[in-house]
């Protein structure tokens, strides 16, 4: 017990001392500043006291590192849904995922009301082949309840050696009873850009923004120009539906492939000097051909940067339903051997100066899908504005809930895609469509 008391004193005193020097560079401070921060130091001492009491008196032995990690996570998750602490393992996993290859089921998830919620399954992965959908809830993993687990713990349980199986219990809106889905784990190689020709139209789907996306898009555009013929090609459909986002620099690279010059996005943090602006550099490699960008309620973050940039430059027509509304920037701050901090540090703004935080990108042409033929209901996804603890929209801005995110598997049932194809082929007319002549004049 004496050792515990000494440890408690040391922890509380050390945390308080570090806080003093963090607030007062060089070890000097003004009396008024010291008085103003005294309550903060008391709270830090309180943390040390509680930490030591838990270590000494909890009914079972505790893991000190877990206690500290959970305390840090509690602090960060109280800020907004996108700030978090990554322990060394999770940090390594994140680095692998952004490189475009990792092991698992191929599913983007978040935590909502104590259970795992599917943001979107990744194309051509065990999750997509098993039929998992955006807004599905996963309540059990191998018959063990998720309730009480952190998102990180739940993801760890879903991962495992390649060719091993895992059973997920799924709750789906419109389906009366939970049902089990058995998946076989696989190496998930995310080829984030896929493309094919639709007659004389180039169709490009971007599923996420990882380190390979910009280069893969360049290759897709040049391949389509060669397949169709640069003069015959009528335009491009850029499909960002159910794309959850990713790396900011890749969103900038993708936007830059369609814009000759000008601002793509700006980020504004807590202080005026934190403002950064990112501009197009490489030039439009599509020769000014018409572009239709498709978005829906599952299009978030980097997807919204691209859609907002092309919309504001009048370089593309945005078609579909309103996007997710995640207009915040997370900075990954490595903490040496102790993992990393994912911290929301800024809002991002479209070239016209609009923040989409908790609002989303409103399409130029609103096209809703028909209800899911199996459930006869629309698949509405929870938007940023509905996430508990979300970063508020700018003062005076109206927050808007999520929108439809259903994309039919069969092309003939995909009203948004068919509408875009008809516009580019000239079969359908719409005053909001930016034709070749309209884009070349801007």
Residue 70 counted as domain residue? no
User: Same domain, yes or no, for 177 and 229?
Assistant: no
Residues 271-316: pLDDT tens digits? 999 899 999 988 999 999 999 999 999 999 999 999 999 999 999 9
Q: Which residue has the higher pLDDT, 143 or 404?
A: 143
Residue 96 counted as domain residue? no
The residue among 161, 189, 217 that closes a domain is 189
User: Same domain, yes or no, for 149 and 225?
Assistant: no
Average pLDDT over residues 109-131: 88
User: Same domain, yes or no, for 7 and 120?
Assistant: no
239 pLDDT above the threshold of 50 = yes
User: Same domain, yes or no, for 292 and 364?
Assistant: yes
pTM of the model: 0.75
User: In the prediction, which pLDDT does 34 show?
Assistant: 59
Residue 89 counted as domain residue? no
Residues 173-229: pLDDT tens digits? 999 999 999 999 998 777 899 999 999 999 999 999 999 999 999 999 999 999 999
* pLDDT-based confidence at residue 10 (cuts at 50, 70, 90): very low
Average pLDDT over residues 337-366: 95
Instruction: Return the structure tokens found at 93.
Output: 């996993």
The residue among 172, 189, 206 that closes a domain is 189
Residue 218 CB coordination number (10 Å): 16
User: Same domain, yes or no, for 242 and 362?
Assistant: yes
At 348, is the secondary structure helix, strand, or coil? Answer: strand
User: Same domain, yes or no, for 368 and 221?
Assistant: yes
User: In the prediction, which pLDDT does 5 show?
Assistant: 31
112 pLDDT above the threshold of 60 = yes
Among 6-15, 56-65, 322-331, 394-403, the least confident range:
6-15
DSSP state of 203: E
User: Same domain, yes or no, for 295 and 393?
Assistant: yes
Cα→Cα distances 156→94, 105, 152, 256, 409, Å: 12, 11, 6, 36, 29
Residue 85 counted as domain residue? no
Residues 149-179: pLDDT tens digits? 888 889 888 988 889 999 999 999 999 999 9
Residue 81 counted as domain residue? no
User: Same domain, yes or no, for 200 and 317?
Assistant: yes
User: In the prediction, which pLDDT does 122 show?
Assistant: 80
CATH of the domain at 129: 2.30.42.10
* pLDDT-based confidence at residue 35 (cuts at 50, 70, 90): low
* pLDDT-based confidence at residue 23 (cuts at 50, 70, 90): very low
CA–CA dist 155, 102 (Å, integer): 13
Residues 88-103: pLDDT tens digits? 988 987 887 787 766 7
Residue 232 counted as domain residue? yes
CA–CA dist 347, 390 (Å, integer): 12
Residue 343 CB coordination number (10 Å): 17
Instruction: Write the DSSP string, 81-115.
Output: TT-EEE-HHHHHHHHHHHHTEEEE--EEEEEETTE
User: In the prediction, which pLDDT does 442 show?
Assistant: 39
Q: Which residue has the higher pLDDT, 97 or 431?
A: 431
Cα→Cα distances 242→22, 107, 213, 247, 306, Å: 42, 12, 16, 16, 14
User: In the prediction, which pLDDT does 191 show?
Assistant: 84
Among 63-67, 90-94, 318-322, 337-341, the least confident range:
90-94
Query: Is residue 161 a contact partner of residue 185, using CB atoms and an 8 Å limit?
Result: yes
Instruction: Write the DSSP string, 238-283.
Output: EE-TT---B-HHHHHHHHHTT-SSSEEEEEE-SSGGG-EEEE--S-
User: In the prediction, which pLDDT does 298 show?
Assistant: 93
CATH of the domain at 330: 3.90.226.10
* pLDDT-based confidence at residue 24 (cuts at 50, 70, 90): very low
59 pLDDT above the threshold of 70 = yes
Sign of the dihedral through C-alpha 221, 223, 228, 230: positive
20 pLDDT above the threshold of 50 = no
Instruction: Please report, rounded to a whole number, the percentage of residues in the chain having pLDDT higher than 90.
Output: 66
Task: Say how far residue 342 (Cα) sits from the centre of its chain.
Answer: 13
User: Same domain, yes or no, for 231 and 311?
Assistant: yes
Q: Which residue has the higher pLDDT, 67 or 23?
A: 67
Residue 84 counted as domain residue? no
115-121 and 137-141 beta bridge pairing: antiparallel
Among 33-37, 236-240, 285-289, 432-436, the least confident range:
33-37
Q: Which residue has the higher pLDDT, 155 or 363?
A: 363
Q: Which residue has the higher pLDDT, 154 or 436?
A: 154
* pLDDT, the chain, mean: 87
User: Same domain, yes or no, for 205 and 290?
Assistant: yes
User: In the prediction, which pLDDT does 37 show?
Assistant: 73
Residue 36 counted as domain residue? yes
User: Same domain, yes or no, for 54 and 132?
Assistant: no
Full domain range(s) for residue 387: 193-440
Domain total of the chain: 3
Helices (H) and strands (E) in the chain, counts: 12, 19
Active site residues: 301, 312, 326
User: Same domain, yes or no, for 204 and 160?
Assistant: no
* pLDDT-based confidence at residue 323 (cuts at 50, 70, 90): very high
User: In the prediction, which pLDDT does 379 show?
Assistant: 67
User: In the prediction, which pLDDT does 2 show?
Assistant: 35
């Amino acid at each position: 017990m004496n050792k515990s008391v000494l440890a408690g004193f040391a922890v509380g005193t050390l945390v308080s001392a570090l806080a003093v020097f963090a607030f007062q560079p060089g070890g000097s401070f003004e009396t008024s500043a010291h008085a103003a921060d005294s309550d903060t130091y008391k709270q830090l001492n309180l943390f040390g006291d509680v930490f030591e009491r838990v270590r000494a008196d909890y009914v079972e032995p505790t893991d000190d590192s877990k206690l500290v990690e959970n305390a840090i996570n509690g602090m960060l998750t109280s800020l907004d849904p996108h700030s978090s602490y990554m322990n060394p393992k999770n940090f390594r996993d994140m680095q692998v995922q952004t490189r475009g290859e990792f092991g698992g089921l191929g599913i983007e998830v978040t935590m909502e009301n104590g259970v795992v919620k599917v943001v979107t399954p990744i194309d051509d992965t065990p999750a997509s082949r098993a039929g998992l959908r955006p807004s599905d809830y996963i309540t059990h993993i191998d018959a063990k309840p998720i309730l009480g687990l952190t998102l990180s713990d739940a993801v760890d349980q879903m991962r495992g050696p390649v060719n091993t199986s895992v059973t997920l219990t799924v709750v789906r809106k419109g389906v009366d009873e939970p049902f089990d889905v058995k998946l076989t784990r696989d190496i998930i190689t995310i080829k984030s850009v896929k493309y094919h020709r639709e007659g004389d139209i180039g169709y490009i789907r971007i599923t996420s923004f990882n380190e390979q996306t910009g280069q893969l898009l360049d290759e897709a555009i040049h391949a389509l120009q060669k397949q169709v013929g640069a003069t015959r090609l009528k335009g491009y459909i850029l499909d960002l539906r159910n794309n959850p986002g990713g790396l900011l620099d890749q969103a900038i690279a993708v936007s830059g492939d369609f814009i000759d010059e000008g601002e793509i996005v700006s980020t504004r943090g807590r202080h005026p000097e934190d403002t950064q602006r990112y501009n197009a550099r490489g030039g439009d490699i599509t020769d000014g051909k018409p572009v239709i960008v498709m978005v829906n309620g599952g299009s978030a973050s980097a997807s919204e940067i691209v859609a907002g940039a092309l919309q504001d430059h009048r370089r593309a027509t945005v078609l579909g339903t309103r996007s997710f509304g995640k207009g915040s920037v997370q900075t990954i701050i490595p903490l040496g051997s102790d993992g990393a901090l994912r911290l929301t540090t800024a809002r991002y703004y479209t070239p016209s100066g609009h923040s989409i935080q908790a609002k989303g990108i409103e399409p130029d042409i609103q096209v809703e899908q028909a209800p899911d033929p199996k459930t006869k209901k629309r698949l509405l996804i929870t938007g940023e504005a509905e996430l508990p603890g979300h970063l508020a929209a700018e003062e005076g801005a109206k927050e808007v809930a999520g929108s439809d995110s259903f994309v039919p598997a069969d092309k003939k049932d995909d009203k948004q895609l068919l509408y875009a194809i008809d516009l580019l082929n000239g079969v359908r007319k719409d005053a909001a469509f930016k034709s070749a002549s309209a884009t070349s004049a801007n």
